[in-house]
Structures are given as C-alpha cells and as structure tokens.
Structure 1
C-alpha cells in the first residue's frame, strides 16, 4: 500500500479479522461446531486485555503440565506479546502498547488456545470410547478363558496373560479419561473459571472432531503475515522513517508489502506462482536535485539496522508458518496409509466368546482399533497444525486465496 508523507494518516496496519470480534467468531464458526465458537466467545469476554489473557493462558498451560498434556509451542509473536521472549530477535523487538493492537492480538492468541484445547478434548473422548470397547472385549475374553480353564480347555498361563491385558486396557481407559478431565479444567480456566458451564457447552457439541474445510492447507498468501503484531510494529517504524518529512527531497511513493506464497515446497505452487518476497519496495520519481528521499533515508542512522530487523522478523514468521504447513502435509501422508490399512482389515468372521474363537477375534479387534487410533490421531494433529498456521500467520486468512493438498478429500 502506498504511504504518503503523513504516515499516520495514510499507512494502515493489517489487523487480524479486520479488528472485529464478530469477524473472528465468524471465522471460527466455519469449523461447524457451535460449542467451540461459544467457548471462544466466553474466553474472549472473560480475558479482554493483554494482561488478563496472558494470565489466563499461563494458568491453563500450567494445568496442562500438571496433567501431562503436551501443548503446541506458542508463536514467537505470542511470546513477545506476553513478555516471554526466547531468542535474541524476540528480545530486541519487544511489543508495547504503542506498537500493536493489544485487544485484537490477544483475541487471536486466546481463540487459538481454546480451539487447541477443544480439539484435544474431542479426540480424547473418542479415544476413551475405543478404550472402553477394548475393556469390554478383554473382560469377555477373561470370562471365556476362566470357563475354559475350569474345563481344562485353556491353560492357566493363557488366563494370566488375558487378565494382564485386561488390566492394561483398564489402565489406559483411566488415563485417557483423566486426560479428558484435565482438558476440561484447562478450558474452564480459559473460559472464565465456570467448569460446570463449560461441561454443559461440551455436552451440546458434536461427537466428531471439527474439521476445517481447508484443513489440508499447503500454502497461504505471504501478505497474511503482515497481520502479525511483530511485523506490524516494524512496518510502522519503517513507514515512519520512509515518510519522515525532514527527508522530503523528492516525490516518492514508498511501499511496504509481502508478496507471493508461503509454502514448504515449490512443487505445491501451480503455474509458476512466485514464492514469497518481502519489502519495503520503494518506487521513486525523477527529481531535479538528483537525490531522492530513498537515498537520504537509506543512509540515515539506524535505518539499515531497522530493515535488517524487519527482514529477520519476516524470515522467522515464514519459517514458523512453513513448519506448520509441512506437518500438515506429513499428516496427509499418514492418512493415506491409515485408509489403506482400513481397507485390508480382517472381517469380523467370528463374534463368539468360546476359547477356540478368541485368538481370531482378538487379532481382528486389535487391528481395527489400531487403525481407529491412527485416524483419530491424524485428524487431531491435522487440525492442531491448522491452528498452528493460524497462530504463526497472526490470525485468519481468506480460504479462497489458499492452496490445498490434493489429499484434502481424504481428510
């Protein structure tokens, strides 16, 4: 976008969701799960400021650690936003109230945190259901072997092994249900502390894991990264330097932009679409004095360092986003494998509980459960990586401008 002499009068930052809470909620509603949207809205209203959002997320993540829940790392701009920089670049460019839109940026971070918890909770419930079926099946096996052993048709060793497997299955069920409870507690922390209210919302949700229509995303427009607060803050500084009236030696139209696509592979781009490139790009007009403002500004003290820091910040944002996109592509590959295994599962040829049928039934059941586990894990991880792209890009994107994997239908 062109920047006039009055940078504050002409330069406009790119805010996530146009800076509107209603647009953010509409964007998340595309996942088709009203319970998720309700939880996000509760969380945003409960923690409307950077300080309250930071405290809320910190407490929720502490509950995750106590419950042995693995959380995706925050994006670099989130760590800077909440005063937890990890790298030299993050420490060098702290975010202040003057350089970012605190309310909107906190809404993005908090919405992503709630969504990530919700996806893990949904998958945990589905996994617990599989564990429950396994417990019931193994208990039937134990009872059948007890009868067989009493009649001399099964060895005591087989009965001991069956009881051991049943105990392991019961333990796995307890562990999965504990994880679900811990996730509910963490979501309640994010949503204002009303655990009973959160549980009520969860009971109204859909049983499946909500899948975005563009879950198999493999490329986003590079310009999307401009909504990140760290990039926005540096854009503002660069725009101010380029538009400094003290350097007004010529008529110049400076531009700050990011063009092309952010993706993990050039093969993902059709028709020779360009990979990303970053600004500022400067377009100058001829002047009588033979000197333009760009020449003056580019030699001003600190300007080169500012441009270098801008480029470093963009490179970091691109790397974070590419990593999340690459994980999604890897998950798509695992889906192909799981779907292929599903087609070759042995049929349930026997449903009896006598000792002769047990080995065949157990083999068939274990194979089916393995594929179910894989599909749920892949579905969960794909959506979590999609949420990670949301984090690293600083907010939502226009789904009509993204590129999807050819495996999208399988997802």
Structure 2
C-alpha cells in the first residue's frame, strides 16, 4: 500500500503536466538572407575584436576605462537591474502559488456573554454558568489549490519568461550604455582633433597677417591685403567657439553616462589623444548570430512565449478550481488546559469553484489573451526586421564613411600642395593674396572635414558592433537563443 501511495504521489505531477490547457509554445521560424552591405566594409589588418568586449579592439586604454566606468556606475543600468529584480520576484511569487499555503496563528479573547443571546436563552440562565469566559487557540492551517488544468503552471511559466525578457532588456541597456559611452568618447577625440586644426589655422593666419603687414610697411603691400588677411584670421578664430561647445557637450554627456556630475572627468579626458583606429568587424556578422545576440530580439521572443502561456491561464478558467484546506491546533477556555489532549481540534475540507455561469467573461479573457499573443508575434517579427535594418544601415554607413576618409585624405594632400605653391607665388609677387586666402580656406575646410570623417568612421564602427548585439556574452542569459 505504501509503495502504491508513493508511486501515486510521483505520478501526480506528470498527470497534471499532461493536463495543462492552452497551446504549447513553438518558437517561430525566422529566415533572413545574408547581409548584403557587409562585403563593401574595408577590414582592418588587425584581428577582429571579440564581440562581447569589442571596445578593446580600438587599442585605446582610455576608451576601455571609460566603458568600464559606465558599466560600473551608469544609473540606467542600475534602474534596469531593479526592473529585473522586480520581474524575478513576480516569477518567484507565481511559482509559489503551486505550493500549499501554511499559516500558524494563535489568539486569546476575553468574552462576556449576553443574557439575551440565543445561548443564554437555551440554558435558561442556569446557576453556575459564568457570563465571563476566555478562549485560547493556537495551531497551523494549510490550504492548497490543486492545479488540475495547468492554469497556475502556465502563469508561473509566463512569469518566468517575462523575467527572462526583463533580463534581456537589462542586457540591451548594457549594450546601449557601452555604445553611447564609446560614441561620446570618439566624438570628444574628434572635436579635439578638429579644435587642434582650427588653432593651427589661427596660428598660420596670424603669421600670414604679420607677413602682409610687414610688406605693407615696406611699401610693397596694400591696405586691401591687410583687410583680407584680417578677415581670414577672424574666420578661423570664429570656428573655435563652436568646436569648444561641441566638445564640452560630449564631455558632459560622457560624465552622465558614467554616473557622475558633468565636469567630473573633464580634466582627465582633456588630455588630447588621437582618434583610435577602427578594429576589424568580427566574422559573426550574420543574421543567425544577430538573432542569437540581439537582446531586443531575445526579449521580444520571450514576451511572445509568455503571451502564449497567458492563453492557457485564461482557458483554465473554463474549468473548475479545486482547493483543499485543513487546520490542526488546540482550543480551550483555559490557558492551563490549552495544550492538553482534550483541547486538540482538527478540521479539513475541500472547495470546488467553477465559473459555470460566467463563460461570457471567460470568452472575452481568452480572446484578449489570443489578441495579445498575435500582437506579440507581430512585434517579434517587426523587431527582427528592424534589427536587420539596423545592421544593414550601420554596415553601409561604415563602408561609405571609410571611402570618404580615403578621398578627403587625398584632397587634404592636394590642397596642402596648392596652398604652399600659392604662398610661394604670392611672396614672389606673381599672384595676388586672394589666391593664398582661397587656398587656405579650402585647406582648413578639408582638414576639419577629414578629422570629422575619421571620428565618424570610428563611430560608424561602434554602430556596427551595437547593431550586431556586441557587448555581452550570450551564455550569460538563461533564455532560448537558438537561431
């Protein structure tokens, strides 16, 4: 008999699992063609940077420091972790509903009976019965809703899947924070390079103005040439404030990303350094790897799974709910005899609750759950398409920016030669000063554009890493990430 009882206890969970109502979730198939913009990207000679720590591939120690500070101190990440903790608690609570609830209670009351109560009328005011009495009770009680049709298990599973979605959202926040920190850092280096060009141009224009003034003093120059040289100098100086504003905004942005008050790390980052070279793009730039790595896709897929289980939760209301309850304890009118054999009491019972005449509401709830599932499926597919769009856009931006850098480099070299020749001709008196000024202006614009494009190319590489879902280790997330 004991063996049969033990086997029955073991078979109950299996039987209940087989009775879970609602659809069993099947992950939708997602087929994507290879990225068509990957081929034009010019790969660096160095080995590809690992996707989980792609920022190390730039070989810039300060960039690594900045990213680590952002990971340690960013407040968006702290808030995302709080949301994960909330979802984890909800999932734990949903799972606990599958288990019996056990309470322990105790009480002591003092009573004075009414002479007009039914009890007093029944005993007829017999002598010896005191109107004053006390009642003491103590003991545990338990209740358990038997999950015959799997509604509670479907709810617990849905809550677990939503916890996984929240964890994927946290990873997505991590990727965004890392990419934003790197983007701000690269813009800082870009503004510093452009500012150096502008200040160098100011120095050159000051030297040119001095030459014009000396020629005028020697009687070989004109007042018009002095005015033109002064205008050129003013134009170069006017470009400096705008660059300083852009630089300061990015310094402030980066401080906030690192969880610090703007200005905290300005002095440290104010030490000028070169714009780092772009690392090679990893070989994982394929649709299947994107599906496996992108946290937004993972989160959308987990929410789709949760919405499927929510259908089962709604369908379970078509069926009766069976609950068991019981209590053991001691009840006595005297504290001295509370824990005696004669004071022992026990109760037990069962309850069946069935929304037998409420099927209209249940129908509506089931339809709502199915509609939410259809919405989640559409959102999942849209997330996949937008992720593919993000990758394609970032790849074409990187490849075209690389082409622009190469072209502008050649332009700067040609304009530098043209400017030098114009200055030599002007000093020899064979060309007017306007030729020198025009060549100088074109060279300033090209040099500024080159540094902007170099910073833009590095930022485009960051966008590629972000689009591919780089910045975390997929094995660290407990969800189904198969492509």
* Change in CA separation of 1:222 and 1:368 when aligned onto 2, cut-off 3 Å: farther
Counterpart residue number, 1:307: 377
Asked whether the equivalents of residues 253 and 262 of structure 2 are also in contact (C-alpha less than 8 Å), the reply is no
Counterpart residue number, 1:199: 266
Alignment partners' CA distance in 2, 1:305 and 1:181: 44
Asked if 1:230 is matched to 2:257, the reply is: no
* Change in CA separation of 1:24 and 1:392 when aligned onto 2, cut-off 3 Å: closer
Counterpart residue number, 1:174: 241
* Change in CA separation of 1:100 and 1:141 when aligned onto 2, cut-off 3 Å: same
Secondary structure, aligned partner of 1:99: helix
Asked if 1:155 is matched to 2:230, the reply is: no
Counterpart residue number, 1:44: 71
* Change in CA separation of 1:340 and 1:110 when aligned onto 2, cut-off 3 Å: same
Alignment partners' CA distance in 2, 1:203 and 1:131: 17
Asked if 1:391 is matched to 2:466, the reply is: yes
Alignment partners' CA distance in 1, 2:275 and 2:80: 26
Structure 2 stretches lacking a partner, 5+ long: 1-17, 21-26, 28-49, 82-160, 313-368, 474-483
Counterpart residue number, 1:138: 205
Asked whether the equivalents of residues 172 and 296 of structure 2 are also in contact (C-alpha less than 8 Å), the reply is no
Alignment partners' CA distance in 1, 2:52 and 2:211: 53
* Change in CA separation of 1:46 and 1:96 when aligned onto 2, cut-off 3 Å: farther
TM-superposed CA distance for 1:132, in Å, is 0.6
Asked whether the equivalents of residues 175 and 472 of structure 2 are also in contact (C-alpha less than 8 Å), the reply is no
Structure 1 stretches lacking a partner, 5+ long: 12-22, 55-94, 247-299, 399-411
Q: Which residue, out of 256, 262, 268, partners 1:189?
A: 256
Structure 2 length as normaliser, TM-score? 0.50
Asked whether the equivalents of residues 215 and 382 of structure 1 are also in contact (C-alpha less than 8 Å), the reply is no
Asked if 1:331 is matched to 2:358, the reply is: no
* Change in CA separation of 1:151 and 1:332 when aligned onto 2, cut-off 3 Å: same
Secondary structure, aligned partner of 1:209: coil
Counterpart residue number, 1:320: 390
Alignment partners' CA distance in 2, 1:362 and 1:243: 73
- What CA RMSD, in Å, does the superposition of the two structures yield over aligned residues? 4.1
Alignment partners' CA distance in 2, 1:397 and 1:345: 45
Q: Which residue, out of 446, 449, 453, partners 1:378?
A: 453
Q: Which residue, out of 166, 172, 178, partners 1:100?
A: 166
Counterpart residue number, 1:35: 62
Q: Tell me the alpha carbon deviations over residues 165-213 of structure 1, each in whole angstroms, 9 at most, x when there is no partner.
A: 21111111222123222222222222232556523542567x2112231
* Change in CA separation of 1:367 and 1:49 when aligned onto 2, cut-off 3 Å: closer
Alignment partners' CA distance in 2, 1:221 and 1:396: 17
User: How many residues were matched structurally?
Assistant: 288
Alignment partners' CA distance in 2, 1:301 and 1:351: 77
TM-superposed CA distance for 1:322, in Å, is 1.3
Asked whether the equivalents of residues 49 and 106 of structure 1 are also in contact (C-alpha less than 8 Å), the reply is yes
TM-superposed CA distance for 1:158, in Å, is 2.4
TM-superposed CA distance for 1:149, in Å, is 3.0
Asked if 1:340 is matched to 2:410, the reply is: yes
Secondary structure, aligned partner of 2:166: coil
TM-superposed CA distance for 1:122, in Å, is 0.2
Q: Which residue, out of 169, 173, 185, partners 1:118?
A: 185
TM-superposed CA distance for 1:331, in Å, is 1.3
Q: Tell me the alpha carbon deviations over residues 269-291 of structure 1, each in whole angstroms, 9 at most, x when there is no partner.
A: xxxxxxxxxxxxxxxxxxxxxxx
Structure 1 length as normaliser, TM-score? 0.58
Asked whether the equivalents of residues 47 and 53 of structure 1 are also in contact (C-alpha less than 8 Å), the reply is no
Alignment partners' CA distance in 1, 2:220 and 2:405: 42
TM-superposed CA distance for 1:128, in Å, is 0.6
Asked whether the equivalents of residues 70 and 259 of structure 2 are also in contact (C-alpha less than 8 Å), the reply is yes
Alignment partners' CA distance in 2, 1:166 and 1:188: 34
Q: Tell me the alpha carbon deviations over residues 236-286 of structure 1, each in whole angstroms, 9 at most, x when there is no partner.
A: 24456789998xxxxxxxxxxxxxxxxxxxxxxxxxxxxxxxxxxxxxxxx
Asked whether the equivalents of residues 117 and 187 of structure 1 are also in contact (C-alpha less than 8 Å), the reply is yes
Asked if 1:213 is matched to 2:279, the reply is: yes
Q: Tell me the alpha carbon deviations over residues 320-373 of structure 1, each in whole angstroms, 9 at most, x when there is no partner.
A: 221222212221232332243245345335877958485565455445444432
* Change in CA separation of 1:241 and 1:131 when aligned onto 2, cut-off 3 Å: closer
TM-superposed CA distance for 1:35, in Å, is 0.6
